[in-house]
Amino acid sequence: MRAAVVKEANQPLVVEEVKDPTPGPEDAVLRVQASGICRSDWHGWQGDWKWIGLGLELPAVLGHEFGGEVVSVGKNVSSFREGDKVTAPFHHGCGRCEFCRAGRPNLCLNVAVYGFGGWDGSYAEYLLVTQAETNLISLPENVSSTAAAALGCRYMTGFHAIDRGQVSPGDWVAVQGAGGVGLSAIQVAAAVGAQVIAVDISDDKLQQARDAGANAVVNSRTEDVPEAIKEITAGGAHVGIDALGIQETISNSINSIRKGGRHVQVGLTGSDEQGMAQVPIDAITAAEIELVGSFGNPQPKFPGLLSLVAQGRLNPQALVEREVGLEDVNEVFSRMSEFKTKGFNIITAF
């Protein structure tokens, strides 16, 4: 099969023939029909995230946002068969540990991420999904593989972040970063009746955020973010979401929250922070601000998410900027390095 392979960190990927996967007794193989190009992949390509155990084992096939069709299953797989349209969360659960059994497989003790740590991802014609009964998710008839790829990491992560923030109708939600995760969180927050503020450095991305449902926008290049948000909200956001993971956006989010509010950290840090960021701990204590982590979206929450998409109440496909081919991944990564991508870039030609 053809795949885009990382041979060396921060060097162009090579499209070449690699061995087709074969399923074990508990596994399934998919024909990948759509694969998102995520900033998380870009971080791996950059050589980031070794500090949290998510470095690449080279050569590596990236890709963890996907939709496709089952082409073969192992002998012990009974819930899926050839021809089924499916997706899976980017976080692979073992199905056996205490967190998987408790319905929180995103926190699996043996969690793996497609493309990282030696797991082949979906920048390829075919993809192996082990423990298929635990990890595969059937797609509703009117949810396409492209929509599933858009859901596969950034959108499901934005969906879970709104849940983790306990967002209620009428709440002010300030989202730092109007990239894929940020736009997803904005669309979901608007869908549940929240009032949303988008923060970014790009006027084009802020316009896209308005299109996704943001009530107000703040350009952090030209405005004092906490001051602007407090003025818009008459006191501060009820929930702040950092979708980027740099010190500036983390600080801006926390400093924009009203007393008793919540900061939801979604974005993982890059090489500058390497997992460490400063927070105004005394202000957090005095204002009883909650700091909440949010990772992926547990498999048990997917039926609700897919139902909202099938009903048209959420539209991840509206956030797709371009459909591209395997050979275009390098160009997309270059644009990501310059923060020029807007929304999702999805591989649909393999």
pLDDT digits (tens, 9 = 90+) for 105-149: 999 999 999 999 989 999 999 999 999 999 999 999 889 999 999
**pLDDT, position 152:** 81
**pLDDT, position 245:** 92
Predicted confidence band of residue 339 (pLDDT cuts 50, 70, 90): confident
* 87: amino acid identity, one letter: T
CB atoms within 10 A of CB 71: 17
**pLDDT, position 35:** 97
The domains of the chain, with CATH numbers, are 2-154+298-349 (3.90.180.10), 166-293 (3.40.50.720)
Region of poorest pLDDT, from 36-40, 191-195, 313-317, 321-325: 313-317
**pLDDT, position 238:** 98
Q: Is the pLDDT of residue 246 over 90?
A: yes
Q: How many residues does the chain have?
A: 350
Cα gap 218→343, rounded to integer Å: 18
pLDDT averaged over the chain?
A: 94
pLDDT tens figures, 2-22:
999 999 999 999 999 999 999
**pLDDT, position 79:** 96
**pLDDT, position 151:** 87
Q: Is the pLDDT of residue 323 over 80?
A: yes
Cα gap 125→350, rounded to integer Å: 6
Region of poorest pLDDT, from 61-75, 101-115, 263-277, 279-293: 263-277
Predicted confidence band of residue 75 (pLDDT cuts 50, 70, 90): very high
pLDDT tens figures, 286-300:
999 999 999 999 999
Q: Is the pLDDT of residue 34 over 90?
A: yes
Classified as helix, coil or strand, 343 is coil
Predicted confidence band of residue 342 (pLDDT cuts 50, 70, 90): confident
Cα gap 257→246, rounded to integer Å: 17
Q: Is the pLDDT of residue 53 over 80?
A: no
| 8 A C-beta contact, residue 138 and residue 80 | yes
| 8 A C-beta contact, residue 205 and residue 322 | no
- DSSP character for 60? B
Cα gap 101→160, rounded to integer Å: 19
Cα gap 199→205, rounded to integer Å: 9
| pLDDT > 90: percent of the chain | 83
Mean pLDDT, residues 193-202 taken together: 97
Angle at 86 between CA 326 and CA 213, to 5 degrees: 80
Region of poorest pLDDT, from 166-180, 279-293, 297-311: 297-311
pTM: 0.87
